[in-house]
Amino acid sequence: MPTVQTVITGALVLAEGTRQALPADLLLQDDHIAAIAPAGQVTSETVQRIDAADRLIIPGLVNAHTHGHGGLAKGAGDRWSLELLLNAGGWLNGRRNDDDRYLSTLLTGVEMLRKGCTACYDLAAMLPVPTQDGLHSIAQAYTDLGMRAVIAPMIADRSFYEAIPGLLDAFPPDLRATAEALRTAPADVTLAAMRTAAASWHYPADRIRLGMAPTIPLHCSDEFLCGCRDLAVEYEMPLQTHLAESPVQRAAALQRYGTTLTRHLDKLGILGPRFSAAHAIWIDTDEIDLLASHGGAIAHNPGSNLRLGNGIADMRPVLARGVPVGVGTDGSASADNQNMFEAMRLAAFVSRVFDRPPEAWIGAIEALNLATQGSAAVLGMADSIGRIAPGYKADLVFLDLSHVNLVPLNDAAQQLVNTEDGTAVRDVMIGGKFVLRDGTLTGIDWPRIVARARAAAERLQDANAATRATAERLAPVISHFCVGLGHCAHDLPRKLRADAG
Ligand SMILES: [Zn+2]
């Protein structure tokens, strides 16, 4: 028996792979689970006891794809496609200082924690170029909350307007000049900034990791993508990109590369075990096979995909080929929440729009596994988080069994996926320490954060008003052009064909 310092007793624990939550005691040593014991077995008085009566304990949910910078921008848009959202990026994320970055990440993290998520993969907006202080302000937010995170700044050496073949030509001359003036930083400047960050990263690897995020392959030259690849290998960083998120991206790739996005990335040597693809809606079976043979993973974001009208990613063929799949919320500017219970539920539900029998749908246990172990694999942390098992970190979510969502408790797994919305979460423990205790966050002064966030949002709205006006002038041309281009990718059944009129 290992040296146990803490025993969590009195709870029902959702054991791996089963529907039923059973009475069990969790024995903790330092920051991890030492053993799962029959209820009431540990009687030693030298062990700290945590009474968890009337609680259901599940592994912390893991968000495989989000954007911390979305915290200050939730609800900012309504009927916008991915391309309209990208066009709005300048005013959504512009003119932010490091305190804004901290606050936005904190808001995103607070929502994740309150809704039972203990770790995330954050693709942070730091255009035109990531700064060391900016990265540390984001890392500080997760540190203050006690969360685990991979922080991967979104980088590129092409603007959105340059990335879509033919888009600049579609603008009238005055708007074209405006769009052409919106540029990214040179590739070597961005890669040098990432090298400096990687070389000096000092956060514990099991807590806050740095990652590479060449944000969208079309937004990156091949040389830039190769530079990202080399840095990821040299500093052993995970690498994530938005892959074939919209039909526009599939069609644009066929035009630009003469092949699909995944095959192009394969030619550049980007695929591999450290690679993960966010969204991966508009990929074909050849692309899935490439991901499977190279060991890449997918972050499935069903809520965001519906929200932005991107279509529905078909995960069954991906799972059938053994590709690890995690579940993500995406950022709050495109989702617009950080509710992993909702994301899990949608992952289960959207699997049912494809014409397959019920046994091929994603069910409750599978959805739960994707949102825990699957997402942990996307973060590169599959050997330490995502499971309640000996040797794994004590990242645990305690739900109130008297909450209406769980009364009566007919089937724990099915109610977590099909009923729960995060409101039954009472306590969250990460690495053996409570970060949410009886509904209160332990690491931050929430009323102060509220005041600061409101002030920051108001200031940024004024500061970005002119940028917003410019984006709104560009938007109609972008929308029209991209709808037309996207139709070229409709060889894949990812969107329903509408009746005329
Ligand atoms: Zn995203």
Whether pLDDT at 451 is above 70? yes
* 410, burial (CB in 10 Å: exposed 0-12, middle 13-18, buried 19+): exposed
Ligand 1 centre and the CA of 388: distance in Å?
28
Ligand 1 centre and the CA of 25: distance in Å?
38
User: CB 428: neighbour CB atoms within 10 A?
Assistant: 28
Which pLDDT score is estimated for 17? 67
DSSP assignment of 396-445, as one string? EEEEETTSGGGSS-S-HHHHHHHT--STTEEEEEETTEEEEETTEESSS-
Going from the N-terminus, what domains does the chain have, and what CATH number goes with each? 62-337 (3.20.20.140)
Alpha helices (H) along 221-334: 222-234, 247-257, 261-267, 285-294, 302-307, 315-320
Ligand 1 centre and the CA of 340: distance in Å?
15
CA distance 400 to 407: 10
Ligand 1 centre and the CA of 126: distance in Å?
14
Phi (first) and psi of residue 428, to 5 degrees: -135, 130
| Tens-digit pLDDT profile for residues 398-428 | 999 999 999 999 999 999 999 999 999 999 9
Ligand 1 centre and the CA of 261: distance in Å?
17
Ligand 1 centre and the CA of 333: distance in Å?
9
CA distance 434 to 447: 20
Ligand 1 centre and the CA of 270: distance in Å?
19
Give the SS3 label for residue 141: helix
| Tens-digit pLDDT profile for residues 264-285 | 999 999 999 999 999 999 999 9
Examine residue 38 and say whether the peptide bond preceding it is cis (omega within 30 degrees of 0). no
- DSSP class of residue 499 equals P
DSSP assignment of 163-207, as one string? HSTTHHHHS-HHHHHHHHT--PPPHHHHHHHHHHHHHH--S-TTT
Region 18-27: mean pLDDT is 90
Mean model confidence pLDDT for the chain: 96
CA distance 146 to 394: 13
E strand or H helix that includes residue 90:
helix 82-93
Which of 26-35, 92-101, 370-379, 485-494 is the least confident region? 485-494
pLDDT band at 500 (very low <50, low <70, confident <90, very high): confident
Whether pLDDT at 349 is above 60? yes
CA distance 211 to 189: 17
CA distance 216 to 261: 10
- Strand residue runs (E) in 340-387: none
Phi (first) and psi of residue 214, to 5 degrees: -60, 105
Region 128-136: mean pLDDT is 95
Which pLDDT score is estimated for 15? 77
pLDDT band at 134 (very low <50, low <70, confident <90, very high): very high
| Tens-digit pLDDT profile for residues 75-126 | 999 999 999 999 999 999 999 999 999 999 999 999 999 999 999 999 999 8
Are the C-beta atoms of residues 1 and 373 closer than 8 Å to each other?
no
CA distance 470 to 459: 19
pLDDT band at 2 (very low <50, low <70, confident <90, very high): low
Ligand 1 centre and the CA of 327: distance in Å?
12
| Tens-digit pLDDT profile for residues 226-248 | 999 999 999 999 999 999 999 99
Q: How far does CA 308 lie from the centroid of its chain?
A: 16
Ligand 1 centre and the CA of 409: distance in Å?
35
Alpha carbon distances (Å) from 310 to 81, 243, 246, 280: 7, 12, 5, 10
Region 295-304: mean pLDDT is 97
CA distance 396 to 6: 14
Which pLDDT score is estimated for 487? 87
- The encoded tokens of residue 301 equal 């974001």
pLDDT band at 497 (very low <50, low <70, confident <90, very high): confident
Instruction: Tell me, yes or no, if the pTM score tops 0.95.
Output: yes
- Of 58, 70, 176, 203, nearest to 118 by C-alpha is 58
Instruction: Give the rounded percent of residues in the chain with a pLDDT score beyond 70.
Output: 99
Region 286-301: mean pLDDT is 97
CA distance 428 to 436: 5
Ligand 1 centre and the CA of 213: distance in Å?
10
Instruction: Give the rounded percent of residues in the chain with a pLDDT score beyond 90.
Output: 91
Which pLDDT score is estimated for 19? 74
Ligand 1 centre and the CA of 486: distance in Å?
19
Ligand 1 centre and the CA of 475: distance in Å?
20
Query: What residues pair up with 58 in beta bridges, in sequence order?
Result: 397
Region 3-9: mean pLDDT is 90
Radius of gyration of the chain (CA): 22
Ligand 1 centre and the CA of 36: distance in Å?
37
Ligand 1 centre and the CA of 216: distance in Å?
9
Ligand 1 centre and the CA of 376: distance in Å?
17
- The encoded tokens of residue 152 equal 């991967």
Ligand 1 centre and the CA of 31: distance in Å?
31
